[in-house]
Structures are given as structure tokens and as C-alpha cells.
Structure 1
């Protein structure tokens, strides 16, 4: 009788395994969700003339307060040159203002304006139904658990910097 080595069930999620199926791969579903969400949020934001980079910057500033351009890039998961250009356009539209950090002239700080705060309220109104639809049938405990699992996965991945 030959002894066969059993592969742990958890390995079916590993693309290196012969028994791998894409639907068993968590990153498949993360990408599917992200893609579908991105399309839906773009559509909702387009109605109020906001794009995803502006949305991310505005919500970062609303929550974090004054931030450096580098801090915003980290929160918005975008490259520094992209964020810098977006902030310049947002400044022209009076959504944000900038200043040089007093103790370090190399750092540009960004703060939200009154018009930017109004835009956040418009965004909340424009996207509230998408949030409700996205989490339909899920309890608060399930959403918290999902967030904890995603946070753990995030911390397990290598830092992109």
C-alpha cells in the first residue's frame, strides 16, 4: 500500500497548488469586488463632477485634518506625482488649500476648504445608496469581521514603500 501525502485543505487557495481554482482564491474576489465597486462609485461620483482620486483626498482630509502630500498618497494608495497633480487641480477648484510646513520647508501640507467640506457632503449623499446596496444582508458584526480580516491581510503583505 502506497502512502499518499495529503495536501492541507488550506492549500487549495494557493495558486501554486495543482488543485487551485480561481474562485477559491481570496484575491480573485477582492479584485472582483474592487472592480465592480470602482465602476459603481465612478458612476455615482460622475453625477456630482468628482472623480475617485478627489474623493479619496477629500475624505482623507476630512478625517485626518491637515496632511502632507506624502501622507495623502499613502491613504489614497496612489503615487506621489499623481496626488500632487490632483491636489494642484483641486486647489484651482478651491476644494483644498496648501501651505509649506513651518518647521520643514520641503513639506507641503494640504487642508480642506469650505467648498471641499461641501463636496464631501455631496459625495455622501451621492454614494449612500451604493453603500446600503453593497452591504445589504450583512450585520454590523459581519462588516466589523470583514474589516478585521482585510486589515490582517493588509498587514501580512509587504509594504509598498
Structure 2
């Protein structure tokens, strides 16, 4: 006896009924792209870009972090993150120091200038965040985050 075939849906690219508008990654890519376009435009007002915005937010939330930890949370290559961090150090936004536990690890911390930059970032991006989630309740946003986290973990070991 043959095992039952899996039912394919319009959101499955291998289905004959596939429609891009039903494909969750289509919408994730479009949302991410539009978000990045808006963020880049807004952050230019404070002489920043999205990668440096991410580093500052990671440090503001986590305190001191290694470049590797920043890379993981920013979902960026380690080499790219390293370049960003050292540009930010040159700009006075962060400081670096060897880890006390492992001298091979570089720890990054935010400077007072970096903290001031976060305030300026918030001023120029707040309206975008408000508008992005207009019409959604707190529970809907929490549900969306939970669903996205599940998809993220599903892709972890693929």
C-alpha cells in the first residue's frame, strides 16, 4: 500500500495551484524590503544606516556583546559585522576591548555618543513603527511574532 500523498496548497511552490500572493515568503520579502527602504531613508537624517541601527539596538538591549553575538542577532556575516563595528568605533559610537574570559573574543560596548544616537534614531523612526502596525492589536502583534519565531526555528537546521 502506498503512503498517502501530501496535499499541496497554493502557498507551496511545488503545487500546480501555486500563487505567489499565497506564499508567506513572498510577503516576508516584500515587507522586509519596504521596511528597509523606509528605514534607510529615515536613518539618513541622522547619518546612519540599517546595519549600524541594528548594532546600536543590540548593544542597547544586551549591554556589552561580542562581535559574534552581534553577528548572530543581526543575522549578518561575521566579517561584515566586524567591519561595521570598527567603522562605528571610528565614529565614536562604540568601544571595543578584548574579553576578560577569552582574549581572542572582542567585546563591544556602546558609548555615550552611541546612546545619544539611539535617541535621535528613535525620533526619526518612531512614526514608521507606529504606522507599520496600525490596525493590529497587541495580541495580534504577539501572535505574529510567535508565528515568525516558529518559522525561524523551523529553518534553523535545514
TM-score bracket relative to the smaller structure:
over 0.9
3-state DSSP class of the match of 1:98?
A: strand
Q: Cα distance 1:15–1:51, how it changes in 2: closer, same or farther (>3 A)?
A: same
What is residue 109 of structure 2 aligned with on the other side? 111
Deviation at 1:103, TM superposition (A): 1.8
Residues 20-79 of structure 1 deviation map (CA, whole Å, 9 limit, x = unaligned): 010010000000100111000111101110111100000000001110000000011111
What is residue 20 of structure 2 aligned with on the other side? 22
Give the ranges of 4+ consecutive aligned residues of structure 1 lying more than 4 Å apart after TM superposition. Answer: none
Deviation at 1:159, TM superposition (A): 4.5
Specify which of 120, 145, 155 is matched with residue 153 of structure 2: 155
1:96 and 2:106 are equivalent in the alignment? no
What is residue 62 of structure 1 aligned with on the other side? 60
Structure 2 gap segments, 5+ residues each? none
What is residue 77 of structure 2 aligned with on the other side? 79
Give the paired residue count.
155
Deviation at 1:7, TM superposition (A): 6.7
Question: Normalised by the size of structure 1, how large is the TM-score?
Answer: 0.92
Residues 109-149 of structure 1 deviation map (CA, whole Å, 9 limit, x = unaligned): 00000100111111111100001111111111111111010
Question: Normalised by the size of structure 2, how large is the TM-score?
Answer: 0.93
